[in-house]
Amino acid sequence: MSALLRWRESLAAWAIPPEIRAEESPWVLPREVFVRRADRQLERREGASLRLAEEAIGPSGGTVLDIGAAAGAASLPLRGATEITAVDGDAELLAEFSRRADGARTVLGHWPAVAASCTVADVVVCHHVAYNVPDLAPFVAALTAHARRLVVLETAERHPLTALNPLWRHFHGVERPSGPTADDLVDCLRELGIEPRVDRWRRAPAAEHPDFAALVEATRRRLCLPPSRLSEVDVQLREFGIDPALPPDLGSSGDDVVTLSWRPPVIH
């Protein structure tokens, strides 16, 4: 089986088991998490992704295309960015991006469907989107085609929902998938003819939700549990070792991060 097909099948395995009924959609989009990440990155400026993108931008400056931009954690901290175009499928998050980026262009829609609406940029950044992309070939091809100097793709070391697996086991007696991983993504890129640079690093722990109660609520929904079991989720998260003072987003990207970067082919 090809790496690309394994990737697609691994993502499909994350579908909610048919015997579990959810009163609300478990696919929670915690906008406040992305907003807090953008503001934190503007302050901290951490990680290999930022460093590599800034090296590619260089002292003379350059344009940036941010795919899956959310509130701007991947692009707004970049020094030397002369122009930023942000692409995201969520209008509210793009509004948060615009509030933080004076004059930046935003494109509402999903990549690569909106690729034709975006001009080529010096650097293309794409953070924590890949695990939502079952069909990697056209997605990656469009990233590469829109970059003059460098593509920087940041992702979690493992599929972010794996953090919830012990809780699925506790509440439902269900074993959830363990993949795919960043290494699987590297295999896919190689299958597409791309040999990426791989940088592994760890993000400093931080409170990703505004408070512990927000984490409990998001986790309840992700576990397909009714509101009546909120207190049980609270107890289990504490027993799970979650620090209420630093509530992470268990269904998001985690702190073990991999930055994959590659240069587009030179066209003579």
**Considering only CA atoms, which of 234, 232, 247, 137 is closest in space to residue 193?**
137
In a domain, 229, yes or no: no
DSSP reduced 3-state for 201 = strand
Tell me if 50 is assigned to some domain: yes
Residue 125 placed within a domain: yes
* In the chain, beta strands by DSSP E: 62-67, 81-88, 105-108, 121-127, 147-156, 197-202, 256-262
Give pLDDT, residue 268.
36
Give the pLDDT of residue 253. 62
Residue 258 lies in a domain: yes
CA separation, residue 172 to residues 164, 165, 180 (Å): 12, 10, 22
Number of domains in the chain: 1
Q: Three-state SS for 146? A: coil
Asked if the structure places residue 182 within a domain, the reply is yes
So what's the pLDDT on residue 90? 96
Q: What is the pLDDT of residue 28?
A: 78
d(CA 157, CA 141): 22
Residue 261 class from Cβ within 10 Å (0-12 exposed, 13-18 middle, 19+ buried)? buried
DSSP structure class, residue 72: S
Sequence-distant contacts of 171-177: CB under 8 A, at least 24 apart: 171/223, 171/225, 171/229, 171/232, 171/236, 172/17, 172/20, 172/223, 172/224, 174/17, 174/20, 176/14, 177/10, 177/13, 177/14
Which neighbouring-strand residues pair with 199?
A: 259
In a domain, 54, yes or no: yes
pLDDT digits (tens, 9 = 90+) for 166-213: 999 999 999 999 999 999 999 999 999 999 999 999 998 888 999 999
Give the pLDDT confidence score for residue 267 in this predicted structure: 55
Q: Judge residue 22's burial from the number of C-beta atoms within 10 Å of its C-beta, 0-12 exposed, 13-18 middle, 19 or more buried.
A: middle
Where residue 197 falls (left for φ over 0; alpha for ψ -120 to 50; beta otherwise) is beta
- State pLDDT tens for residues 248-257: 888 776 789 9
Over the chain (268 residues), the average pLDDT of each successive run of 10 is: 95 92 82 92 96 97 98 97 97 96 92 97 97 98 98 96 95 95 98 98 90 94 94 95 90 85 80
Is residue 103 one of the residues assigned to a domain? yes
For residue 89, the enclosing domain spans 3-161+178-211+253-262
Q: Does 62 fall in a domain?
A: yes
- Record the pTM: 0.94
**CATH number of the domain where residue 22 is located:** 3.40.50.150
**Quick one: pLDDT at residue 206?**
87
